[in-house]
Amino acid sequence: MAKNKQAVESLEKQLWKSADKLRKNIDAAEYKHIVLGLIFLKYISDAFEELYTKLKAGEGEFIDD
């Protein structure tokens, strides 16, 4: 799990570096779409991780009976 977390952190750093490079080349009105997209991806990733953890522990909505 720690290795996976490091990979995710590395991916996040790469995405932010890419966004920073784009910020220099495009208008702020267009850049907001990139930032909002990154925020959305982070939200979905966190929500998935939380649900996955619950399901793996047998606490989710779809537990085996």
60 close to 51: Cβ distance less than 8 angstroms: yes
Look at residue 2 in the predicted model and tell me its pLDDT.
58
13-52 pLDDT per residue, tens: 887 887 777 777 777 788 788 788 888 988 999 999 998 8
pLDDT at residue 1 greater than cutoff 60: no
- Positive or negative: CA dihedral 26, 27, 33, 34: positive
- 57 pLDDT more than 80: yes
Q: What is the pLDDT, as a whole number, of residue 47?
A: 92
Among all chains, which residue has been given the structure tokens 């953890």? 53
Q: Which helix (H) or strand (E) holds 20?
A: helix 2-25
Please tell me the predicted confidence (pLDDT) of residue 63.
58
Per-residue confidence band for 65, with pLDDT thresholds at 50, 70 and 90: low
